[in-house]
Amino acid sequence: MTTSLADVATSNATLRTFLHGLPGVDRVGADQRAAMLATRSIKTTAKAQAIDLAIGMVDLTTLEGADTPGKVRAMCAKALHPDPADPSVPRVAAVCVYPDLVAEAATALRGTGVKVASVATAFPSGRSSLDVKIADTGFAVAAGADEIDMVIDRGAFLAGDYVKVFEEIVAIKAACGAAHLKVILETGELSTYDNVRRASWLAMLAGGDFIKTSTGKVQPAATLPVTLIMLEAVRDFLAVSGRKVGVKPAGGIRTTKDAIKMLVLVNETVGEGWLSPDWFRLGASTLLNDLLMQRQKMATGRYAGPDYFTLD
Amino acid sequence: MFEYAPAPESRDVVDIRPSYGLFIDGEWVDSQGGELHKTVNPASEEVLAEVAWATEADVDRAVSAARKAFGVWSALPGSERAKYLFRIARIIQERSRELAVLESLDNGKPIRESRDVDLPLVAAHFFYYAGWADKLGYAGYGPSPRPLGVAGQVIPWNFPLLMLAWKIAPALACGNTVVLKPAETTPLTALLFAEICAQADLPPGVVNIVTGAGQTGAALVDHPDVDKVAFTGSTEVGRRIARSVAGSGKKVTLELGGKAANIVFEDAALDQAVEGIVNGIFFNQGHVCCAGSRLLVQESIETELLDALKRRLGTLRLGDPLDKNTDIGAINSAAQLAKIRELSDLGEAEGAERWSPACSLPDKGFWFPPTIFTGVAQSHRIAREEVFGPVLSVLTFRTPAEAVEKANNTPFGLSAGVWTEKGSRILWMASRLRAGVVWANTFNRFDPTSPFGGYKESGYGREGGRHGLEAYLDV
């Protein structure tokens, strides 16, 4: 990172000057661009390629109060063998669970290449003390999490206290150690596209490895325009800082069509450099079975009923 | 690498006859002595059909039919005329896929544009003017404005069906009857529209379609029994029409060329401005009279903007117009391609720097890559003359006043675009730009409720909206 970029976070005034100096986002134009890209028609070989790519990018997620070790073990089995009858189906990128279930997932996935991701920092609201958030993160990392999905303090962001948000991300990044940090912006609460762009830059400046749209607990979540704006942000950040940051839309991506639209967005905004699970993830719980169903349809020409796909 | 597989729209939805006659008085008739000419698919040079080039005698027959129908049509209550127009609008919607495919085949424009832009607007125009037909007394032209009579309408090849809609919908709503001549390179959708008129049981003679080239158009414009001439096309032909109808008492509207400035300020929403520039000049291969062919960029962000623009142009997909993922289709004709090449070569000779993204052009058909000229000055011909192709001239400015001065320093005045996040500056600019349409933070957006037309050599009269009624009423 260049000296000038490191300097912007010294005070709320400098951060504000920097973030508010970013080019604005015109909502109508951004919506139009996303809608246009959504008309791309992805068929035959391209569709087959996209489906496999998307499966490999899925962060298979369960974030319920009712989650149990049994539920997590079952989901890990699904992550390793999405379609038990077809070994050519790629594994998903990661499973994503609450911190207290990380150990369970880590045991089930050890040595498989499928990563364990954990939400942390008083997910999903982020309303607690920094100490609690750091402890939460440390707990997940110690239990074997490879990736931490933190939430930013949206209240501080909306109140203009950018330094607080920045320093919290820096502290959590430090608590992550070797684990990768995904920073959840919760774009549904930031509301404007200008805020989404500013929060993206803030998270990247503070050292986030990924920027993620949503917790999945707030609507709207991973919309196409919001993902577009975040992709533009990582593209521009790479040009300025030389550091590449990944993007994870999460929440509301349920169908193969949704997932393919996301991939088209990546392809035509930042290019193939981001078309890998290292740089682009899809946070989802029900998406995987639709991808499997479409994959089987492409191979056999027929749709199998929902009972032919495992529910885990 | 994520390569999109071909996704062609099926052309089976449309039936193209091997040859077409003229649509006069509700019937298909052969031309009296007119030769048959081929119309080709500009993307492949494949012959689509043969079309008659109407003679003076044919035009006379069409005008007589329109004159005869005028009595019946203008005597109908507005609410009855509206029913026909609503019916036509609905049939256009129902047959929109067919019309879109035919438009792309004959014109070369991408199916995404004909499907998502042209056809929805065509239907919207008919719906909009259908709504006016029984409310003309409330349009601000007196309690009971009268129609003019027979309208002779000549339209261009860039938006064949949309220009037809702009001409025919208001004319019919006001109680006029029409003889319309589509462009010689793109007659097919107008002929399909004739079928739609028959399908809608429109009384014979209310709409007559005569195909042909310049001579047919001249015969129509000069016909003594035509009360109103409406033309969209080049400034050169527009000037000739203005001369020929001068003193004849015919009412005229002309929608001619343009050399619009798309003005980007340093505080613009950059990513959306880039989209707007692309949409401004590469939409419809730049075959748009109101295209944003001059990019005026504030010098302080020139490098940043051009880098972003070039990166974006690298993702444009040029090729088969019927492929649903195509962004840039074919140039409409060999003649237009030659003109674009000539002016582009001239731009280079004049010292501007030419740039195109790496893109392979198909072997057959008429193609031109998206092209940017940087280092262009006001005195270069590519900054002054209408290229009517995918060619953008980039100029810089320092202050808002200079932007206005440069934008207005053209014989044309059809449209302009302003990109800034500052609302007050948008208003300041809009009140000073001498252009019929000023788009703020967007470009090439059309709506039937919004009047469209030019200043200076871009023509006179307005089409669209309440203002568009005036051109077809005796006011």
- Asked if the C-beta of B236 comes within 8 angstroms of chain A's C-beta atoms, the answer is no
Residue-wise pLDDT tens digits, A91-135: 999 999 999 999 999 999 999 999 999 999 999 999 999 999 999
* Res. B8: pLDDT tops 90: yes
B283 and B386 share a domain? yes
Where does the pLDDT of residue A5 fall: very low under 50, low under 70, confident under 90, or very high at 90 and above? confident
CA dihedral B134, B140, B144, B149 (to 10 degrees): -80
- Asked if the C-beta of A43 comes within 8 angstroms of chain B's C-beta atoms, the answer is yes
Question: Is there a domain that residue B447 lies in?
Answer: no
CA atoms within 13 A of residue B170's CA, in its CB half-sphere? 25
B225 and B307 share a domain? no
Number of Cβ within a 10 Å radius of residue B124: 20
Three-class DSSP category at B458: helix
Its ipTM equals: 0.95
Residue-wise pLDDT tens digits, B15-44: 999 999 999 999 999 999 999 999 999 999
Q: Which amino acid is at B333?
A: S
- Asked if the C-beta of B45 comes within 8 angstroms of chain A's C-beta atoms, the answer is no
* Res. A231: pLDDT tops 60: yes
Question: Is there a domain that residue B348 lies in?
Answer: yes
Where does the pLDDT of residue B1 fall: very low under 50, low under 70, confident under 90, or very high at 90 and above? confident
Where does the pLDDT of residue A4 fall: very low under 50, low under 70, confident under 90, or very high at 90 and above? confident
Residue-wise pLDDT tens digits, B299-320: 999 999 999 999 999 999 999 9
Q: What is the DSSP letter of A158?
A: H
Where does the pLDDT of residue B189 fall: very low under 50, low under 70, confident under 90, or very high at 90 and above? very high
Q: Which of B199, B244, B198, B205 is nearest to B221 (CA)?
A: B244
Question: According to the model, what pLDDT value does residue A6 have?
Answer: 78
Three-class DSSP category at A103: helix
B357 and B383 share a domain? yes
Average pLDDT over residues A8-17: 95
- Asked if the C-beta of B3 comes within 8 angstroms of chain A's C-beta atoms, the answer is yes
* Res. B178: pLDDT tops 60: yes
Question: According to the model, what pLDDT value does residue A240 have?
Answer: 96
B74 and B210 share a domain? yes
Contact B5 A232 (CB under 8 A): no
State the CATH number of the domain containing residue B407.
Answer: 3.40.309.10
Contact A28 B271 (CB under 8 A): no
Residue A274, min C-alpha distance to chain B (Å): 11
B308 and B365 share a domain? yes
B32 and B143 share a domain? yes
B283 and B166 share a domain? no
Q: What is the mean pLDDT of chain A?
A: 96
* Res. B342: pLDDT tops 70: yes
Q: What are phi and psi of A141, to 5 degrees?
A: -65, -45
**Secondary structure, 3-state, B250-280:** CEEEEECCCCCEEEECCCCCHHHHHHHHHHH
Out of A190-194, A306-310, B278-282, least confident range: A306-310
Where does the pLDDT of residue B198 fall: very low under 50, low under 70, confident under 90, or very high at 90 and above? very high
Packed helices B160-173 and B78-94: angle between N→C axes, nearest 10 degrees: 160
- Asked if the C-beta of A268 comes within 8 angstroms of chain B's C-beta atoms, the answer is yes
Query: Which pair of tokens denotes residue A212?
Result: 């993620």
State the CATH number of the domain containing residue B89.
Answer: 3.40.605.10
B75 and B128 share a domain? yes
**Residue numbers of the domain that contains B82:** 11-256+456-474
Question: Is there a domain that residue B119 lies in?
Answer: yes
Residue B409, min C-alpha distance to chain A (Å): 28
Q: Find the radius of gyration of the CA atoms of chain B.
A: 22
> Which residues fall within 8 angstroms of residue B227, CB to CB, at 6 or more apart?
B148, B149, B150, B151, B176, B250, B251
B248 and B354 share a domain? no
Which residues, listed in sequence order, are joined to residue B395 by a DSSP beta bridge? B296
Contact A24 B441 (CB under 8 A): no
Number of domains in chain B: 2
Q: Are B390 and B382 in contact (CB under 8 A)?
A: no
> Which residues fall within 8 angstroms of residue B326, CB to CB, at 6 or more apart?
B110, B111, B112, B317, B318, B319, B320
B192 and B283 share a domain? no
Where does the pLDDT of residue B9 fall: very low under 50, low under 70, confident under 90, or very high at 90 and above? very high
Residues 404-423, chain B, touching A (beta carbon < 8 A): 421
Q: Which of B318, B361, B35, B343 is nearest to B184 (CA)?
A: B35
CATH of domain A22-300: 3.20.20.70
Residue-wise pLDDT tens digits, B88-134: 999 999 999 999 999 999 999 999 999 999 999 999 999 999 999 99
Chains A, B: CB pairs < 8 Å: 67
B79 and B116 share a domain? yes
Residue B107, min C-alpha distance to chain A (Å): 21
Question: According to the model, what pLDDT value does residue A3 have?
Answer: 55
Average pLDDT over residues A221-243: 98
Element (H, E) at A120: strand A115-120
Ramachandran quadrant class, A35 (left: phi over 0; alpha: psi -120 to 50; beta: rest): alpha
Annotated domain spans of chain A = 22-300
> Which residues fall within 8 angstroms of residue B306, CB to CB, at 6 or more apart?
B297, B372, B374, B394
Q: Is the peptide bond before A306 cis (omega within 30 degrees of 0)?
A: no
Residues B218, B220: Cα–Cα separation, whole Å = 5
B247 and B307 share a domain? no
How many angstroms separate the Cα of A57 from the Cα of each of A54, A60, A282, A286, B319?
A: 5, 9, 6, 14, 31
Where does the pLDDT of residue B144 fall: very low under 50, low under 70, confident under 90, or very high at 90 and above? very high
Q: What is the mean pLDDT of chain B?
A: 97
